[in-house]
A and B are shown apart, each in its own frame.
Chain A
Amino acid sequence: EPEVTQTPSHQVTQMGQEVILRCVPISNHLYFYWYRQILGQKVEFLVSFYNNEISEKSEIFDDQFSVERPDGSNFTLKIRSTKLEDSAMYFCASGGQGDLAGGYNEQFFGPGTRLTVL
């Protein structure tokens, strides 16, 4: 069964360093998302990406964050200068096989990358 994969599973970094979190969405999906979950809190939407551009972003997704789909298979989240409060589990999701007539989408989630900023 196709699945979304994410690497690394755990990333430890120093405050101020850049990190890149990688995701391989399901191959025929068209919509891509990043969410994060700070320990003990809700899963929060960060950004959605379609047709090689951001379609929506949350207020969390400031200038320190960027996303890219560099090669048609990977989908990356970059944090330019990490802060302590960026420590969280980051989930990638993809979708695009929804029933457009019915107007829903199902998002398939990866296993997450746990980012620890020291």
Chain B
Amino acid sequence: AQSVTQLGSHVSVSEGALVLLRCNYSSSVPPYLFWYVQYPNQGLQLLLKYTSAATLVKGINGFEAEFKKSETSFHLTKPSAHMSDAAEYFCALTWGNFNKFYFGSGTKLNVKP
């Protein structure tokens, strides 16, 4: 069975501080993992994806994530938060070819000036 858990429904950081959004997964097959960002009243925009190549994945807007099989984690980080990073972030999992996505419950990131 597949599932995704995002710890922390709300995370608040100061501008310039490290962003760490947590994602843990459970999968009985090798997973492919994604992070999406959703700005208010907008759709889901892909930030980055892990597809069994490099375990450290770099995405847009300075975000990166590291796939750690031993910890079943795929945490999202950014060294220095910007005000424009305030949004909701979703971790998602799929496997194989063109299968459905399982989403985490999302983490709302607030960036304080």
Contact = CB atoms under 8 A, between A and B. Distances in A.
The B contact surface, by secondary structure, is: loop
Interface residues of A, number: 31
A25 interface: no
A9 to B, nearest CB: 8
The A contact surface, by secondary structure, is: loop
A99 B98 CA distance: 10
Interface residues on B, range: 20 to 34
A96 B101 contact: no
Contacts of A44: 103
B24 to A, nearest CB: 14
Contact of B98 (A50, A58, A110, A112): A50
B99 interface: yes
Contacts of B36: 109
A75 interface: no
Nearest to A110: B43
Given A42-B103, A42-B104, A109-B36, A96 B43 contact: no
A103 to B, nearest CB: 6
Interface of A: 4, 31, 33, 35, 41-45, 48, 50, 56, 58, 91, 93, 95-96, 98-100, 102-112
